[in-house]
Every structure is written in structure tokens, then in C-alpha cells.
A and B are shown apart, each in its own frame.
Chain A
Amino acid sequence: AQTVTQSQPEMSVQEAETVTLSCTYDTSESNYYLFWYKQPPSRQMILVIRQEAYKQQNATENRFSVNFQKAAKSFSLKISDSQLGDTAMYFCAFMKPPHVSMRFGAGTRLTVKP
């Protein structure tokens, strides 16, 4: 079974600074997909970024980037130039086709301070 671990229950960062959220996962598979989702106080989950395991290049979406270390089974999220609107719960998630259930970590609550 695949497990996803987020070891940081809570983090905070000053506005405009950079923060990195950690995620590790456990799998014996070689082909899979990793995701970071954001859940603001409104409760609606929003996809932040995705990474295909077969791609060596780290995914980037504007201020969000990942550090994907396949051998170490690590998938951290870096948020640059943090903004107040980045305050949310962040969930790391894993999916191995064809199994369709996306496995989520317990989440990291990020607070961006003015």
C-alpha cells in the first residue's frame, strides 16, 4: 500500500519570503503521479502542482515549484514570494494508475504573516 507522510503539521512564513513544505511517500512502483493540493479556509481543494514520476525535471507553476527526489521518495513544495492568500492547508497526494484513489497526506497548515 502506498502511504504519504507530511511531517510538518504547521508552518508559518513572513510575507514575501520563501517556504518549503515536506512530503515523503512510500511505494514500490516506478510509474506514478504526485500532487500538491491547497485547501483555503473555504474548504475547496485546489490543485497547485503535479509531477509525473517518469519526468526528471521538477515541475514549476509560477511561484510554486517542487523538488522531486525519486530515489529518496521525497516531493517537497517550495513557495516563493509568499502572499497572504497562500495561507491554507497544503496536502501532498499520490496516485498510481490504474488505481484511481488519490492518497493524501495529513496536511500542513501554512500561515503567511504580514
Chain B
Amino acid sequence: GAVVSQHPSRVICKSGTSVKIECRSLDFQATTMFWYRQFPKQSLMLMATSNEGSKATYEQGVEKDKFLINHASLTLSTLTVTSAHPEDSSFYICSARDAASGGAGNEQFFGPGTRLTVL
């Protein structure tokens, strides 16, 4: 149980285009999903917290108009990188918190990640 999927796993796009990444909780409901960015050999940096049915909360320094997050259902959140540039190339990872877990443990389940390369 507690599986999170991401699609696509790898995407290459041209500079100036937009890319959408999907994050799905396959066997549980996720009221909260998180989006992280990871540069090579570095840690995960939280970009935003996505709550189902409401606007995402972005971390300081993250451009909300560039990284559009939608969490329209309890099992799906999407991250759209708009007008992508080479500096947006990175590994993007989502995680989901099981709504049924309440506050205990705060465990998040991570997706396998999406490698974005902008040419």
C-alpha cells in the first residue's frame, strides 16, 4: 500500500515550452501533497505544499507563476513548469500525506521523481 506515482518519469523539452508533471496517490487519499526539487548531489528543497481544493502554499523564493500547482482531487496533484528554461532542469519529486493518518507520524510517501531537461 501507500504508493505514489509520477508521470512522466523523464521529459525533455525545448526552452519556452510548458511541462506538466502528475503526482498520483494510487491506494490512499492525500489531502496534502508536497513538491520538491532536487539538484544533482544536493538535498530535496521543498517548493510548495498543495492542499486539495485550495491554493498551494509556496516556499520563499519559489515563483508561483512559473510553477503552477493544482490539486483538484484527493489523489492527483499536478506541477506545471511554465515557459521552461535550462535552469529549470532538475529532478522533481512529489510526496503525499495519507489523510487517514491524522497527525501521527506525519509520514509522507514519495513518488519516484521526474527528470526534467530543458534544452
Are A and B genuine complex partners? Answer: no
Question: Which A residues form the contact surface with B (CB < 8 A)?
Answer: none
B residues apposed to A, CB below 8 Å: none
